[in-house]
Amino acid sequence: MARTVTTNRKLVFTVIGWAIGLTLFFPILWTFLTSFKTEGEAIATPPSFLFFDWTLENYLTVNDRSDYFRHAINSVVISLGSTALGLLVAIPAAWSMAFTPTKRTKDILMWMLSTKMLPAVGVLVPITLIFRDTGLMDTRTGLVIVLMLMNLPIIVWMLFTYFKEIPGEILEAARMDGATLGKEIIYVLAPMAVPGIASTLLLNIILAWNEAFWTVLLTTNNAAPLTAMIAQYSSPEGLFWSKLSAASMLAIAPILVMGWFSQKQLVRGLTFGAVK
Amino acid sequence: MQGSELTRAKVRSALVFLAPMLLALALAAGWPLGRTLWFAFTDASLTDNGYSFIGFENFWNSEWGGLLEDGNWWQAVGNTLYFTFVSVALETVLGVGIALALDVPFRGRAIVRAAVLIPWAIPTVVSAKMWGWMLHDQFGLINDLGMSLGLLDQPVAWMANSATALTAIVAVDVWKTTPFMALLVLAALQMLPRDIYEAARIDGIHPVRVFFRVTLPLIRPALMVAVIFRGLDALRAFDLMYAMTANNESTMTMSVFARQQLVDFQDVGYGSAAAALLFVMVAVLTAAVLTLGRVRLTGGAR
């Protein structure tokens, strides 16, 4: 008797769990399906779920007409570039805050986090003016710099939480054994810091990939990444829902793959390290 | 003597390490923000190079009213507050519910958790387009489902109708951000000691009572941090509204309003005033939350 109750309860929880997962996932599934329909089938009533003529035409059209690869390369360059530059600035900063904390460390961290609360429109015009005057408008270099700066607080913060977990006693021990600062960093600290740096790297690539405020407002054509392409997607001849769906799938595919392998890091980073 | 020498050397090198980041943040946040605050008190415009200081006239003046008498601005303020309160409230309640459901082990839980994460990990502009398609008045799936389930009598033009557009945007945001809440709450739930539940079960206390008397008080600190983060984020909301309805007044938030003034109307002074007010609002709320609530935003660091 007791066993039937638990089995039933288990079944209920499984059903609830899967229902939640499927409901939240459904819009993405629907976009995926639409991307394989012809424009005519996409607007058919009642809508068909699986039994339609699957076609790859939309993907080919998107690639031809919207120059998918050029936008994708921009996305890759911008997200990798801003991440690399960000790590270059953030690693030393997080390092020194984690290992040589002073009275001000906490203030610096709070001040840094508070810049993340800043509404982006608050700095829109000054940054646009700088871009106009320096010729950075619609260049990948410009976006690399801006996205690096926008994500810097979160990178420093994340690295700091990882570095803090490296025990200081190990450094003491290395120093007792006569390791110099250089050796200390190369042989002791670096190997322990690599996982944290890797996680931060993954998260920041995703954040930069998803960014749409600056990429839309600071590009016109040359440097526009995938988010800007999607934001401005339209078709000269009427219906474009399947093509838009195909474009959307192409824009999120890299994120889905990377996100799958970095779920934990993603959660940790987007919650400012509150969830481990 | 040697120790203090060493300490001083360490502090010096720490400062050298910190300097690039501090400089970068000051340049990225401090200087542009300062300029925006200055522009807010001028009549600057992108089409005209010269500008002059006009005091508080962008905020209020007897001639054409200024921001504080601009109906569109007040509507943007109202929309922003409505969006913030409704979406954060729904996300909190649903997030706690989902977290409770995912806290119980079941077959395929790892897959479900990963699937739940997806809406939140993809670009907002893509979500906006996806939902724009599903909410389409003629061909959208939502209308079709609603009609065949008997929930709707006739197709609704969700995004065109000013009464439903903001609700639809709230719904999309709830879809996108509830997973964030759920994951934060889930992490808090998983740190709770299991023996409390054991004790409650043996005493025969109803699960609902256990939730309100035991679980909720224990996860409250984590929940507060999540709510505050989301709230501050929602006040700045921009991309969802902009991608779904562009400059439509019925869904325009304070950020969208400021962007329209700055970019479309090239009215730097007026737009900066709007941006400055938004900034001040967010800053005051952040400071109030940090001091009054004594919420440890840095709680995760320990």
The pLDDT value given to residue B10: 74
Specify if A155 maps to a domain. Answer: yes
| From A34, A117, A259, residue closest to B232, measured CB to CB | A117
* Residues of chain A with C-beta less than 8 angstroms from the C-beta of B275: 119, 121-122, 124
Note whether B232 contacts A: Cβ–Cβ < 8 A.
Answer: yes
| From A24, A217, A252, residue closest to B115, measured CB to CB | A24
The pLDDT value given to residue A258: 82
Instruction: Decide if pLDDT at B1 tops 50.
Output: no
CB contact under 8 A, A255 and B144: no
Instruction: For residue A228, give the nearest of B197, B198, B137, B239 by alpha carbon.
Output: B239
**B55–chain A nearest CA distance, Å:** 19
Q: Report the distance separating Cα A43 and Cα A271, nearest Å.
A: 39
What total number of domains does chain A contain? 1
Q: What is the mean pLDDT of chain B?
A: 84
- Lowest-confidence region among A262-266, B80-84, B91-95, B221-225: A262-266
Which pair of structure tokens corresponds to residue A97?
């805050």
Q: Can you give the CATH number for the domain in which A147 is found?
A: 1.10.3720.10
Specify if A11 maps to a domain. Answer: no
| From A47, A106, A120, residue closest to B144, measured CB to CB | A47
Specify if A250 maps to a domain. Answer: yes
Higher pLDDT, B121 or A185: B121
For chain A positions 111-130, those within 8 Å of chain B (CB to CB) are: 111-115, 117-127, 130
Specify if A69 maps to a domain. Answer: yes
pLDDT (tens digit per residue) in B235-289 = 988 888 888 888 888 889 999 999 999 888 888 889 999 999 998 888 888 778 7
Note whether B238 contacts A: Cβ–Cβ < 8 A.
Answer: yes
The pLDDT value given to residue A84: 95
Q: Which domains does chain B have, with CATH numbers?
A: 72-128+165-301 (1.10.3720.10)
B294: pLDDT confidence band, cut at 50, 70 and 90?
Answer: low
For residue A80, how many other CB atoms are within 10 A of its CB? 16
Specify if A247 maps to a domain. Answer: yes
Say if residues A174 and A188 touch (Cβ distance below 8 Å).
Answer: yes
Specify if A6 maps to a domain. Answer: no
Give the pLDDT mean for B56-63. 82
Specify if A14 maps to a domain. Answer: no
Interface residue of A13, A24, A226 to substitute, partner B, most B CBs within 10 Å: A24
B299: pLDDT confidence band, cut at 50, 70 and 90?
Answer: very low
CB contact under 8 A, B33 and A118: yes
CB contact under 8 A, A20 and B102: yes
Q: What is the pTM of this model?
A: 0.86
The pLDDT value given to residue A213: 87
Percent of chain A past pLDDT 90, that is, above it, reads 17
Which range in A225-229, B58-62, B191-195 is most confidently predicted, on average pLDDT?
A225-229
Instruction: Decide if pLDDT at B180 tops 50.
Output: yes
Specify if A106 maps to a domain. Answer: yes
Give pLDDT < 50 ranges for chain A: 1-2
- Structural domain harbouring A126: 58-270
B73: pLDDT confidence band, cut at 50, 70 and 90?
Answer: very high
Give the pLDDT mean for B173-195. 87
The letter for the amino acid at A133 is D
